[in-house]
Structure 1
């Protein structure tokens, strides 16, 4: 018999995240990542990685491998160029959802080439959040998908960004290979609010702006909240803000 989940609202502040700074990269890690390891902070629900990255123009991640992971990238500022060993090429920018299924193995690179794509030289960094969830099964065929959802975000509500859940059907922008997980985004103007989904595991991240979380108070840029066995709280923007929300109906063993 499974042990019943205890309702929890666990606020994680931006300043408490792991940090990687290497000149061209400023990366903040919500969970253990790379050489940053904390056995008590490896995941929440099905979410293993929530990296908040800023990359200088002309730099980026050279070709590197991934395997058996669903990787969703969400850009807040600038543009990110993706290339992979399956022949996919794309430019990810604000309002464009992107998913890469690593499956049996894939090589890819991610670069801030906005200066070159724009046709002249400028120094706009690219700011993006990259999130990893495990797939339902290992060894699937690698894949890639991206879709523009900027128009849907204008409504101010929670917009499905990526989902493997049956309830979304064709409503989700992109499909991930996990039937227990879904990612939402919302762009909120001051006073606008959304209600969080109810699920065994929910992860709220504020990549930009300031919001008020019902029952927990103010959340600033970079703050996150891990909910267990709870949901339905109201999130209200105190200033222009963007939020990312994972709804998860399973967890890692």
Structure 2
């Protein structure tokens, strides 16, 4: 079964300094038909204006992944971590028993474009944690590179959730296939460009949920950057 989520149907919050599209219900955007998919709870496509950002705020019991597409995001948290997240880098923050952090775009002339992703953790009350790794474009060109997983295999970021995340870049004749476990769920989010997913054409911001499907086939990409989630049902 395929479930199409069109970009234009997402929730939108425009705060001036922040323009955010919500794939699933979030904050003031409530849609009972889109509360999440498997244990994937949030995908927000955020654009942060130059010199602005999210002030210090708290989270609990959530695995939070940040994936920067353009620009740079400065991160500071109550665990003592401070880093800039750049395109090609994946950051995982385990909120666990509670963490406070801030995120800012300190650039003067460039917006920061990134995806904020929340996954339900495998257990509550974990000790807060943080990890960040870079994945070069050549590692994702024409293939799905594992960038986050429960066991940190293949050099991926470790997730404390029953989920994994792959990222890929596709153009022209480049294709990829992935065998799926029909007992699990798969969510494909197209961050930019265009791409065919199991015969379904997607444009930037579109997503496709797969349930009970035996394989994933990506083809016909044009400037495509795609994220593929393997999720607990």
Give the TM interval when normalised to the shorter protein.
over 0.9
**TM-score (ref. length: structure 1):** 0.87
Change (3 A) 1:133 1:36: same
3-state SS of paired residue (1:139): coil
Match of 1:207 in 2: 191
Q: Which runs of 4+ in 1 moved over 4 A?
A: none
Match of 2:165 in 1: 183
Q: Distance in 1 between matches of 2:153 and 2:197?
A: 30
Deviations 1:148-171 (A, max 9, x none): 11155354210111111x5xx531
- Counting only pairs closer than 5 Å after superposition, residues 99-114 of structure 1 correspond to structure 2 as 99-113=92-106
Match of 1:161 in 2: 147
Q: Distance in 1 between matches of 2:214 and 2:22?
A: 24
Question: Structure 2: which 5+ residue stretches go unaligned?
Answer: none
- Counting only pairs closer than 5 Å after superposition, residues 1-253 of structure 1 correspond to structure 2 as 8-113=1-106, 115=107, 121=108, 123-150=109-136, 153-164=139-150, 166=151, 170-178=153-161, 180-199=162-181, 200-216=184-200, 218-248=201-231, 250-251=232-233
Question: Structure 1: which 5+ residue stretches go unaligned?
Answer: 1-7, 116-120
> Highest CA radius of gyration, 1 or 2?
1
Change (3 A) 1:172 1:40: farther
Deviation at 1:36, TM superposition (A): 1.1
Q: Distance in 1 between matches of 2:155 and 2:23?
A: 25
Q: Distance in 2 between matches of 1:237 and 1:132?
A: 29
Deviation at 1:37, TM superposition (A): 1.1
3-state SS of paired residue (1:128): strand
User: Cα RMSD over matched residues?
Assistant: 1.4
Deviation at 1:58, TM superposition (A): 0.4
Q: Distance in 1 between matches of 2:140 and 2:79?
A: 33
Deviations 1:9-43 (A, max 9, x none): 01111000000001111100000000111222111
**TM-score (ref. length: structure 2):** 0.95
